[in-house]
């Protein structure tokens, strides 16, 4: 079922991409009017349902001159007039020493009234006039390079016309880079349609930005909680940077928050973030698909991406355009990002072919990544505008990667859960084994104790002093073993909740008995002394004598174990109707951070 759903989503995404390429590019509707010989007739259109048209086709073009749109002005430049395809580059019409020109289009409208024009990209500064009046600009288009100001922003311009015809004139200049002109379709329609389109794309950009921000926060918190999986940190940083990049392009939400940011600075931020985005995505791919990625290749690509991110960004130490032609820098940027994307796609396909865990999720990632690359490639090669589709496909890929990481976490949790159940089962078997073994040891130990006691009491006749000492040692060791057996049985009973206490009035003489019994455990009686400072005249204690012996034995035994030289002292005093018994030693002690864990089961420090 999951495989069918995954394949269906991939098929839908492929179909969407193909349809989008063939529709948004303008091939879908040949009935839309096109400009011919500098005239666009849309007088038959009704502009219903928020319809906008693109001002595509043949425009008048006057290379090497910026013509002021005054009456009869264009009649003076008939010899310079060319007809140029819009949108397209102007390279074949422009001389390198005169990288500027004037576009002109006559639009025949169906009615007089308020109209709007949506400019997507004019390289790399522009000034727009309608019926002789300036209505919008980006940067400062000028014949003089000193007065030229870079500007590549999208903007909306509005005009109120009392006539059914508009004269649209656009000054364009592109100093420093001869490649320029109207590079993206210009949209036209009634003001309300333009505003509706603008608001729609702002909402779409806000949705995509919010999506990246949410993913970034989720995986940042996840990483900070565990600090284990580096790919979660890389993915989080990648989402934040990609979200910032989204806010800096299209409707430029960033400029709504920081209106003081200039176009040139915004472009530098875009260049920096796109390189950093790819860089952290590479690091994520390496960290997540370690066995399928080549570390040297990843590090080399990351280094090559870091250099332009530094030297093309807003904090650049030097201006690279002073040393290299901008066209060379543009080709270099495209090439680096292209190589990085191709290698990422190679790693993803390799992971899928090797049937990595979650390979069904990798299908969606690979398909969405490929579709995203197709849209970028068509956009780059054919100057086709796809709106917010590439970003939504990219967000779809991010969701796929998030699902893949979630799947891996679920698989890890499932394995841990299975191992936990298995360990609990083995723990139960261990407890049963200890209980059975303890029961088996109890009988022979009692035989040893009874027999040694009888011999010590002279049942078989008098013994020599050395024999008595050896037999006494055997008896004491047997008693200790019997106590250990009882402790093991008690441990099993505690786990099953079957432990029973039988408190009774008990004298502190118990402490003396324990100390006398444990003296033989001292490794070197000259270096370690076991001292009893309890007063037998203190009041009786209401306690289970066997439990008290167990506790005291464990405490004193622990002190003996970790005291190589010095004194082990046992004291007792009454405090608030309670008997406080202390075991102090001059051993190595316990680290402060481990004090809270000393009563944990099976804890060892």
For residue range 170-225, list pLDDT tens digits in order.
999 988 776 789 988 899 999 999 998 888 888 878 888 888 898 889 889 989 98
pLDDT tens-digit map of 292-348:
999 999 999 999 888 888 877 777 665 655 555 555 666 777 788 888 888 988 988
Q: Is residue 148 within 8 Å of 109, Cβ to Cβ? A: no
**Tokens of residue 372, six digits:** 């995203």
**Tokens of residue 110, six digits:** 């169906």
Q: Is residue 363 within 8 Å of 7, Cβ to Cβ? A: yes
Residue-level pLDDT at 128: 95
Write the DSSP assignment of 177-191 as a string of letters: -S--EE-SPPEEEEH
Residue-level pLDDT at 6: 47
Rg for the chain (alpha carbons), in Å? 42
Q: What is the mean pLDDT of the chain?
A: 81
What residues are paired with 261 via a beta bridge? Answer: none
In the structure, how many helices (H) and strands (E) does the chain have? 12, 18
Residue-level pLDDT at 379: 59
* Angle between helix 389-456 and 230-248 (nearest 10): 160
**Tokens of residue 526, six digits:** 């000259």
Q: Is residue 257 within 8 Å of 297, Cβ to Cβ? A: no
What residues are paired with 530 via a beta bridge? Answer: 568
Location of structure tokens 């003076």? 76
Q: How far is CA 134 from CA 127, 129, 146, 163, 170, in A?
A: 7, 4, 22, 17, 9
Sign of CA dihedral 114, 37, 68, 176: positive
d(CA 145, CA 125): 12
Q: Which of 118, 122, 79 is nearest to 103 (CA)?
A: 122
d(CA 245, CA 266): 10
If you ran DSSP here, which 8-state letter would residue 598 be given? T
Q: Give ∠ CA 297-300-303 in degrees, rounded to 5.
A: 150
d(CA 200, CA 394): 19
Rounded to the nearest angstrom, the gap between the alpha carbon of residue 578 and the centroid of all alpha carbons in its chain is: 56
Q: Is residue 87 within 8 Å of 383, Cβ to Cβ? A: yes
Residue-level pLDDT at 117: 94
Q: Is residue 374 within 8 Å of 21, Cβ to Cβ? A: yes
If you ran DSSP here, which 8-state letter would residue 538 be given? S
d(CA 311, CA 380): 23
Residue segments in the chain with a per-residue pLDDT below the cut of 50: 1-8, 22, 24-28
d(CA 365, CA 360): 9
What residues are paired with 35 via a beta bridge? Answer: 57
d(CA 190, CA 180): 28
Q: How far is CA 398 from CA 168, 228, 404, in A?
A: 42, 21, 10
Residue-level pLDDT at 205: 80
Location of structure tokens 């990632």? 365
d(CA 566, CA 41): 107
Residue-level pLDDT at 7: 47
d(CA 374, CA 381): 10
């Amino acid at each position: 079922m999951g495989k069918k759903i995954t394949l269906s989503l991939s098929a839908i995404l492929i179909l969407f991409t193909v349809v989008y390429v063939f529709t948004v590019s303008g091939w879908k509707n040949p009935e839309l009017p096109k400009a011919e010989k500098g005239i666009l007739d849309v007088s038959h259109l009704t502009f219903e349902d928020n319809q906008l048209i693109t001002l595509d086709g043949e425009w008048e073009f006057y290379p090497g001159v910026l013509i002021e749109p005054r009456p009869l002005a264009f009649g003076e430049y008939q010899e310079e007039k060319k007809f140029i395809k819009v949108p397209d580059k102007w390279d074949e019409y422009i001389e390198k020493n005169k990288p500027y020109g004037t576009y002109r289009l006559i639009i025949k409208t169906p009615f007089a009234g308020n109209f709007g024009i949506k400019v997507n990209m004019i390289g790399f500064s522009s000034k727009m006039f309608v019926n002789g009046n300036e209505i919008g600009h980006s940067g400062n288009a000028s014949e003089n390079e000193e007065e030229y100001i870079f500007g590549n922003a999208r903007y909306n311009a509005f005009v109120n016309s009392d006539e059914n015809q508009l004269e649209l004139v656009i000054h364009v200049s592109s100093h420093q880079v001869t490649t320029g002109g109207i590079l993206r379709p210009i949209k036209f329609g009634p003001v309300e349609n333009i505003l509706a389109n603008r608001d729609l794309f702002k909402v779409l950009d806000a949705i995509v930005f919010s999506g990246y921000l949410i993913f970034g926060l989720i995986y940042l918190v996840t990483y900070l909680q565990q600090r284990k999986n580096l790919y979660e940190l890389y993915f989080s940083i990648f989402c934040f940077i990609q979200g910032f990049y989204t806010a800096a392009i299209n409707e430029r939400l960033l400029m709504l928050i920081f209106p003081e940011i200039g176009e040139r600075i915004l472009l530098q931020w875009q260049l920096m973030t796109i390189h950093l985005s790819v860089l952290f995505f590479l690091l994520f791919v390496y960290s997540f698909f370690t066995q399928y990625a080549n570390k040297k290749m990843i590090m080399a690509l990351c280094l090559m991406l870091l250099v332009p991110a530094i030297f093309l960004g807003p904090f650049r130490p030097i201006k690279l355009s002073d040393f290299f032609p901008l066209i060379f820098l543009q080709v270099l940027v495209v090439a680096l990002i292209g190589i990085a994307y191709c290698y990422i796609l190679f790693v993803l396909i390799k992971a899928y072919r090797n049937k990595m865990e979650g390979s069904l999720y990798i299908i969606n990632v690979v398909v969405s990544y490929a579709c995203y690359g197709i849209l970028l490639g068509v956009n780059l090669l054919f100057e086709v505008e796809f709106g917010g589709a590439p970003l939504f496909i990219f967000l779809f890929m991010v969701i796929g990667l998030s699902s893949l990481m979630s799947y891996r976490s679920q698989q890890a949790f499932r394995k841990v859960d299975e191992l936990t159940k298995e360990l609990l089962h083995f723990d139960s078997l261990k407890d049963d084994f200890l209980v059975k073994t303890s029961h088996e040891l109890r009988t022979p130990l009692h035989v040893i104790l009874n027999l040694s006691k009888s011999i010590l009491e002279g049942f078989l006749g008098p013994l020599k002093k050395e024999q008595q000492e050896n037999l006494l040692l055997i008896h004491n060791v047997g008693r200790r073993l019997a106590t250990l057996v009882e402790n093991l049985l008690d441990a099993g009973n505690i786990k099953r909740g079957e432990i029973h206490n039988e408190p009774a009035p008990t004298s502190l003489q118990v402490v003396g008995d324990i100390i006398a019994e444990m003296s033989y455990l001292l490794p070197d009686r000259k270096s370690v002394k076991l001292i009893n400072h309890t007063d037998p005249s203190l009041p009786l204690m209401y306690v289970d004598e066997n439990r008290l012996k167990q506790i005291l034995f464990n405490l004193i035994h622990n002190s003996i174990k970790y005291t190589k030289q010095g004194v082990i002292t046992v004291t007792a005093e009454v405090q608030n109707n309670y008997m406080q018994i202390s075991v102090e030693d001059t051993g190595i002690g316990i680290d402060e951070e481990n004090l809270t864990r000393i009563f944990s089961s099976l804890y060892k420090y």
